[in-house]
Structure 1
Amino acid sequence: MAKPQRKITLFLNDKEQTFYSKFASARNVFKAQNLMQKMETFETSDDENKPTEEEMFMEILDFLATDIYHNQFTADDMLIGTDSADFIEMVQSQLMMVMTRDVEGLKKVAMQAQ
């Protein structure tokens, strides 16, 4: 069975560009889980010292750009190159791709749970 690759397509410099992640260490699974949990509990958190929503998303985008895609693009490129309507889903999908290969399967489970 072919090993699925993590990939992201961004619209940069007036054209679509696709980037691939050839390797992400297992350590990144834990960071992705923590970031996903932070994103999921952001609205309900009572922590007075919690980061702003922008800071939270920038932390996630920095992680993806640096640790997963090894600086092929920047967090700012992800903001510029992602359609606003797709942003939240893209962030969630990218984090899920770090945690598992079967992103579509996870999405189906999540939809059934709703």
Structure 2
Amino acid sequence: MDRLDVVAALGCVVLVGATWQLPLETGVLAAAFAGFLLSLSVWRLYGGRPWEALGWFVWVWTAVTVVLELPTATFVVAFVGTGVLGTMLLLGGRYGVLLDVWTVEN
């Protein structure tokens, strides 16, 4: 676990705590969470971990599905599908399961 993982965990805890303590609308909290996840994605991409960056970016779409007014079945498929895909990308990039297709060798 590196510094960014600690920031991600603490940020998620703070945002989840804010949902219970602050009387904000769902859209505002989802936008805050999506913005936080997008910043994590950019940090991972800048840090040279593109698969993890893609995983965080997919989780941005998971947060976006919360504010979209989708039918229940579509919402469940979109929310769970993007959540699982993001998790697979994060873990696959972290444990070296996904190939390094990002670097070019001469």
> TM-score, structure 2 length as denominator?
0.38
Structure 1 or 2: larger helix share? 2
Which one has a bigger Cα radius of gyration? Answer: 2
Higher-strand-fraction structure: 1
**TM-score (norm: length of structure 1):** 0.36
